[in-house]
Amino acid sequence: MDQVEVFKALSNKTRLMILQWLKEPELNFPPQDRDMKEVGVCVGQIQCKAQLTQSTISEYLSVLQRTGLIESTRIGQWTYYKRNEAACLELKQLIETSI
């Protein structure tokens, strides 16, 4: 896990918010058919909440995914993103010891 890359990813208000929203998806997004805990939240919902264009949000999600902090599942025409809690924990432990 490259700390500098992770900090770059999190040094943007919207990306940081997305990561935080995904901590408790059912609290931050309207209900959907699929179980949010299980599969995640689709791009459209995140875009709607973030109030930026679809292309921007799609790119931001890629940036977060590249760090490993979130992961995606494609189902039909939707891509669902959810947190990778193991990676988030690893990051927190790394910061705990390195900062």
Partner DNA sequence: TAGGCATATCGGGAAATTCCGATATACATT
Partner DNA sequence: AATGTATATCGGAATTTCCCGATATGCCTA
Specify the stretch interacting with DNA by CB under 7 A; choose among 17-25, 26-34, 38-46, 86-94. Answer: 38-46
| Long-range contacts, 39-44 (Cβ 8 Å, 24+) | 39/73, 39/75, 39/80, 39/82, 40/70, 40/71, 40/72, 40/73, 40/80, 40/81, 40/82, 41/80, 41/81, 41/82, 42/78, 42/79, 42/80, 42/81, 43/78, 43/79, 43/81, 44/78
# chain residues binding DNA, by CB under 7 A: 25
Choosing from 20, 23, 37, 56, the residue that interacts with DNA (CB under 7 A) is 56
Q: Is 82 in the site for DNA (CB under 7 A)?
A: no
Q: Which residues in 19-38 contact its own copies (CB under 8 A)?
A: 19-20
